[in-house]
Structure 1
């Protein structure tokens, strides 16, 4: 079968690899759509320390059941459409014992610590597949990245009346915008791209602020009655946005980091104490987050606006170079298999 491999830094190519067969408890999924994630782009650029090369990328996957192994429930019949939950959990580590399996110490995400789904077929345990026939086929691959943003809103305990700043309106940030609005927050979207903040306004943001403006903090204070945000969700992953999140949070506010910085971050830590902030990390997503996103998307009529560019599988080797060159103007690159 055909698959895209990232072979070395800056080099991706279509290759023929063996087609998997479903083992007991597994489903062979015919891959229909795969979204490219920032982790895939970092792998391509040689910036992902979790990946060894060559690697088949891709963990944002929508497809359909092609074949089932023994022991798979009858609901997973050939032709049924599925959303892939691309994480693993060991069941033994401290995170798993606390029920937070999304943060499993031994997690192996598709396309990162193991081969991904940017191929014609992938075989997975049926428990990792969500059956869905309410969304358009191409929208199934959007559920996972939006779920990561929804999970950040859950980590921030966003509730009705909370003023929420989301720093960065890429795909994860867009999910955080939608998630925070879904849970009742009044969302302020912050990004340097006017196109992305304009789109954020259609996905639940009440206000948009240009992150490159000189008076960002003053604008945020003006929009939050001079207090600062109850919740700040950082979805960029730069040292300056990590520290900005602390500055924009109100006293007794909450800060959630869903981006992660590739360089060390220096803080004036007195604000942690003076503001008595809750500072939280956010990783992956839970089944509840996936379910919430599916319900959200079922009532959206502008979902296609999230998809910037679609490549057919036979041109998939062009997708990562395209995104690397056009990242500032690109929200989601998708491969149609």
Structure 2
């Protein structure tokens, strides 16, 4: 079978690999589409210290069941069923796992980062990680995992219908947060530097949008919230500017939810932490109920928006060129899918 591999910064190859053996507790998935995410882009750029050497990337998976191991409970999976995959591991022993939050497992290994991923014709995974998605196409299934990360951030922010939620960053994960906050009845303010992304954010549920490159962010947020600031700010960029902006602009007694990794140190005036009595929360990966919520959203009509989230579809042979183009202009990409 073919596998896409990032063998060095800026270098991608397609290699022949054996089809993986199917263990008694495994399901063999025929891969149809895999999405490139920001961690894959950072690996390609040589800026992902968590990635193993010469990694096969990919954890945004759309496929079909090909073969089922002997110990897999009968009736759960049928050949040809559309599925996606929960790509995270959990040790079951650390404090996160014991508290029922395996998405933040201290020893997590994500497909395509700390272990080889799914950018191959086939992948074998434990049956407990298979997420059935009957009614969706494998192409739509490849969008479930990144959307679920945004859904999880909204859950971390405990968003309700009385909240005003500002989402900073309208990439794929930020759009997931906008969709989920809108589904919960919140008033959503989308913030980005790109008008095309803001237009899509409004289509997906944002009530208002702010282009922070051409508008004064603080003034606009104050105008839209009667001077109070948003109840919840979800940071989905990962830059010092957006981290500081989230803390400065959130309402008193508000919640700040951080998804993005800032690669440089961030300097805060900690007075605001105390003066505003803020809840500042990290949001990592997603929980099974977040995957289920995204699938339900797609089945309930959200699939009409699925194609708008796909910036390009390429072959394995074109994967390296696609990453080069994305690296040169990262602000214009939602998701690139590799079709097998």
- Short-chain TM bin: over 0.9
CA distance in 2, matches of 1:321, 1:147: 26
Superposed, 1:51-66 pairs within 5 Å as 51-66=51-66
Moved over 6 A (4+): none
How far off is 1:133 after superposition?
A: 1.8
Which residue of the partner structure matches residue 43 of structure 1? 43
Tell me if structure 1 keeps the 8 A contact 2:82–2:136: no
**TM-score normalized by structure 2?**
0.97
Tell me if structure 2 keeps the 8 A contact 1:14–1:317: no
1:334 to 2:324 alignment: no
CA distance in 2, matches of 1:270, 1:176: 28
How far off is 1:81 after superposition?
A: 1.3
Which piece of structure 1 moves more, 57-66 or 126-135? 126-135
CA distance in 1, matches of 2:31, 2:317: 14
CA distance in 1, matches of 2:222, 2:291: 33
**TM-score normalized by structure 1?**
0.98
Which residue of the partner structure matches residue 73 of structure 2? 73
Which piece of structure 1 moves more, 228-237 or 319-328? 319-328
1:255 to 2:259 alignment: no
Tell me if structure 2 keeps the 8 A contact 1:27–1:67: yes
Describe the superposition over 1:188-210 as per-residue Cα deviations: whole angstroms up to 9, x where unpaired: 00000100010000111000100
How far off is 1:213 after superposition?
A: 2.7
Which residue of the partner structure matches residue 296 of structure 2? 295
How far off is 1:214 after superposition?
A: 4.6
How far off is 1:184 after superposition?
A: 1.7
Describe the superposition over 1:51-73 as per-residue Cα deviations: whole angstroms up to 9, x where unpaired: 12100000000101111221012
1:323 to 2:293 alignment: no
Which residue of the partner structure matches residue 9 of structure 2? 9
CA distance in 1, matches of 2:212, 2:168: 8
CA distance in 2, matches of 1:174, 1:163: 16
CA distance in 1, matches of 2:162, 2:225: 11
SS at match of 2:325: helix
CA distance in 1, matches of 2:222, 2:256: 16
- The structure 2 residue matched to 1:314, chosen from 299, 317, 330, is 317
CA distance in 2, matches of 1:236, 1:58: 20
SS at match of 2:57: coil
Tell me if structure 2 keeps the 8 A contact 1:7–1:13: yes
SS at match of 2:67: strand
Tell me if structure 1 keeps the 8 A contact 2:140–2:306: yes
Describe the superposition over 1:29-72 as per-residue Cα deviations: whole angstroms up to 9, x where unpaired: 11011011000000000111101210000000010111122101
Which residue of the partner structure matches residue 25 of structure 1? 25
Q: Which 5+ residue runs of structure 1 have no aligned equivalent?
A: none
How far off is 1:325 after superposition?
A: 2.1
Which residue of the partner structure matches residue 221 of structure 1? 222
SS at match of 1:324: helix
How far off is 1:326 after superposition?
A: 3.0
Which piece of structure 1 moves more, 159-168 or 179-188? 179-188
Which residue of the partner structure matches residue 175 of structure 2? 174
CA RMSD of aligned residues (A): 1.0
1:277 to 2:300 alignment: no
Which residue of the partner structure matches residue 243 of structure 1? 244
How far off is 1:215 after superposition?
A: 1.3
Q: Which 5+ residue runs of structure 2 have no aligned equivalent?
A: none
